[in-house]
Structure 1
Amino acid sequence: MNTGFFAQPNPPYRRANYPFAYQWLEEVASLAALLAHVEALRAADPGHRYLSTLDDIQQASYTSGHASQDDRLSLASPPDMDWDDPAQEAAWELQALQHRARQLRQVQSPQRWAQVCGSLALSGSDIDALLAANRCPDLLLDEVIYIQRLPLADADPLIAGQPNGYFSADWDSFQNHAIHQHLAQQHGYQLYAMGAAWMALARPQPPDAAQAQALVEDLRALYASADEALRAHAGWQALPAVLQTQRSLVLGYTEDMADRWESTQA
């Protein structure tokens, strides 16, 4: 794995819509290796939070930029803002980050999970894609991965650092946050990577059989609560065994999950 820092002179990549981009990675061997790298950064620097990109970094940058402009998340810059002054820009980016975190915190409630369940339009092929992505999560890794170093408190929603869910048929940042909150409270999974269509969470140890089954029942409610045919899909029976082999869980948050999965193998 090749690594570099955005603070170095003339980095080969630009930050784009990742204002707190700290490090870039090339040739990441596996999702497990990415998780280990993020956890090592966290352990060495407990004063910051770390969030990685995942699939399709350019598209994720585009949609994250637009998602940040959601009226519930956006913060207007000062009218006298000098965008050529790095210090002013950095100060404003910090204020915008803190504003997004506050806005997301204000809607934390158990009811948010119930409101998200069944709200994504899916088909059986999307459930197949969810199963396949968890069987082969390494295929979601883009050629270049960014890691953001975020000055967020432990209680702040990590997605504030990389809001996503821009298109109207996809889950938005608030819905994704509700999912992260529920999975953390009920199953011990914490977000560590956000991509253009997929997100990755991890727990300290792989779930045992009972824990994996309980998780899958929640995922079945999340993705298929409004559709009996989807609830009966065979993929739900296969998923618990897959999840017991790994610490990570990958979830799609766009309506075209199957198409997005196919694009990773092109």
Structure 2
Amino acid sequence: MSKVNSWKDVLNFYSEIKQKHLPKKVLLLLEDIGQCQYTSMHASMGDGLYFDTSELVEDDSEASWDNTRPLELQYHIEQLLKPENYIDFNNLPKKLSYCDEDQSTLLQINAEPEKILDDVIQVKLVNSKTETQKFAACLNGYFTCDLNPFESFSLIQHLDQNYGLEYVGLGASLLFFIKTPKFDANKTTQLFNELSNFYQFNQTTHTQLEQHLSNHEYLILPYVESLEVFDLD
């Protein structure tokens, strides 16, 4: 998708593509896509996720490598779902601690997502059973101070299963979610108590993000150590 004019256009496009390609799932790559793909490549080679293609690749042609992609995806889904790799959201380490400036940036990003989107958004059609499992098509969380793939997956599952927030896609720093019909506005306070505890948000961020989700259909959350990469001025 190119020529992104508004975030609303992106969400409408997402909905249309979903209906058109059922039962496949749709994953959007939205911001700093080159860096996102680079760190995803490294993250997918981490502990518990490395998929050895050496015996599957017959030659070094692009077609031969492409044939391994579905197998790699299924392997990554299996690894994310393994009981020994499961991390309960409430047991996630509080490794992310954002300064006031980063928290202000996050509020700006949620208010005006258009400012941080790439000019061309990439779309992946994913053979997964659930919306959460499509995270396996672009695992991320490479640096030690970021959420690792299993931690990000825990967050994605928690928001989906407990709050009806569907994972839409990601960028090099952010995870994007939208409300589903299962979203219960009465649980918004509980949701942000949990998110503020996990992200260690200050009161202003807590209040404004909660207000944002009450008035909009989407929520954008970080999985990286810092948001200083974003220049929104």
Matched to 2:192, the amino acid is V
Structure 2 residue 180 is the aligned partner of structure 1 residue 204: yes
CA distance in 2, matches of 1:99, 1:172: 17
CA distance in 2, matches of 1:198, 1:107: 26
Contact 2:14/2:26 (<8 A) preserved: yes
TM-superposed deviation, 1:256: 1.0
Q: Normalising to structure 2: TM-score of the pair? A: 0.90
Partner of 2:37: 61
Structure 2 residue 3 is the aligned partner of structure 1 residue 33: no
Partner of 1:261: 230
Q: Normalising to structure 1: TM-score of the pair? A: 0.79
CA distance in 2, matches of 1:85, 1:111: 36
CA distance in 2, matches of 1:37, 1:108: 37
Spell out the pairing of 1:219-258 with structure 2 (5 A cutoff): 219-224=195-200, 230=201, 232-257=202-227
Contact 2:96/2:145 (<8 A) preserved: yes
TM-superposed deviation, 1:130: 2.1
Contact 1:105/1:156 (<8 A) preserved: no
CA distance in 2, matches of 1:204, 1:141: 22
Contact 1:49/1:151 (<8 A) preserved: yes
TM-superposed deviation, 1:98: 0.5
Comparing 55-64 with 196-205, greater Cα deviation is found at: 196-205
Specify every segment of 5 or more residues in structure 1 that has no aligned partner in the other structure, as ranges: 1-24, 225-229
CA distance in 1, matches of 2:86, 2:164: 16
Specify every segment of 5 or more residues in structure 2 that has no aligned partner in the other structure, as ranges: none
Comparing 120-129 with 143-152, greater Cα deviation is found at: 120-129
TM-superposed deviation, 1:221: 1.5
Matched to 1:133, the amino acid is I
Contact 1:212/1:241 (<8 A) preserved: no
CA distance in 1, matches of 2:161, 2:56: 43
TM-superposed deviation, 1:101: 0.5
The 3 A distance-change label for structure 1 pair 132 and 108 is farther
TM-superposed deviation, 1:157: 1.3
Render the CA deviation track for 1:105-157: whole Å, top value 9, x for unaligned: 11488852123252213222222222222112222211111000112222761
Spell out the pairing of 1:106-255 with structure 2 (5 A cutoff): 106-107=82-83, 111-154=87-130, 157-204=133-180, 210-224=186-200, 230=201, 232-255=202-225
